[in-house]
Amino acid sequence: MSPIDLPEKPTLAFMASQRPEALEAVERLAKRYGNCAISEADVVVAVGGDGMMLEALHAVMGQETPVYGINYGSVGFLMNNPSEDGLLDHLRHAEQTSIHPLRATGTDMAGNTFFALAINEVSLLRETRQTAKIRISVDDRVRLEELAADGIMVATPAGSTAYNASAHGPILPLGSRALALTPISAFRPRRWRGALLSHDSKVRFEVLDPENRPVSAVADNQEFRDVVMVDIEEADDVSLHMLFDEGRALGERILIEQFLA
């Protein structure tokens, strides 16, 4: 990957999480480098943790504007180390990683339809003490007639180290062109651990007995209650671009994550 091409004086838009240290950092950075509207920026700089990076990526959805993250949060897997003094130099030498989000389309018990794009994962989660029961289809064929579990998710490679990994799903190399289908605390079939799917697979979740076993759908930070059906596929017409310091590209971080105890 080669460094990105930036103007001599790039315009920057800063976004900060609500952590006091992130807000203070953005105040310093804006005074030093200027701060424009997101729609006018050459680069959006997200200051905070991984949640702030996801928020910034959603903010530039459809604009092709790259996002550079500076870690002032608690996790920072998608972020770079703080670099206030040499920020422009870091941006000019940054490596760009491009990803496609997931597109989720579904309906709820009232007949309403919903639509969302998710960078990390789309998950279905039980709303009550009752176990969720979900039918799973892949590419228009029923693959599992009934999953009884706390939930189920489809995760992208970029999101495979997040909730998916916590649910014991596989960590996917960034260039694997795959998706992880991962159950959350599966009760039946007890030994089913999920599946690896091609990136162009089309997944359908159908909620069985939604009146007595209500289920929510969550696409990153968007939640939809009382769903009955959700279709999920890669949004290959939408590209998102993240910038990482030299030697710290996302693909390398995902590889390193697989060797951590």
221 is in an annotated binding site: no
Q: Phi and psi at residue 254, in whole multiples of 5°?
A: -65, -40
161 is in an annotated binding site: yes
108 is in an annotated binding site: no
Strands 141-155 and 178-188 turn out to be antiparallel
The C-alpha angle with vertex 119 and arms to 68 and 5, in degrees rounded to 5, equals: 30
162 is in an annotated binding site: yes
94 is in an annotated binding site: no
State the catalytic residue, choosing from 50, 108, 209, 245: 50
118 is in an annotated binding site: no
203 contact partners, CB below 8 Å, separation of at least 6: 136, 137, 138, 154, 179, 181, 197, 231, 232, 233
Half-sphere exposure of 140 (CA within 13 A, CB side): 0
139 is catalytic: no
212 is in an annotated binding site: no
51 is in an annotated binding site: yes
Q: Which two tokens stand for residue 38?
A: 């997101």
Q: Which two tokens stand for residue 44?
A: 């959006």
Q: Which residues are annotated as a binding site for NAD(+)?
A: 50-51, 120-121, 150, 158, 161-166, 222
Q: Which residues are catalytic?
A: 50
Q: Which residues are annotated as a binding site?
A: 50-51, 120-121, 150, 158, 161-166, 222
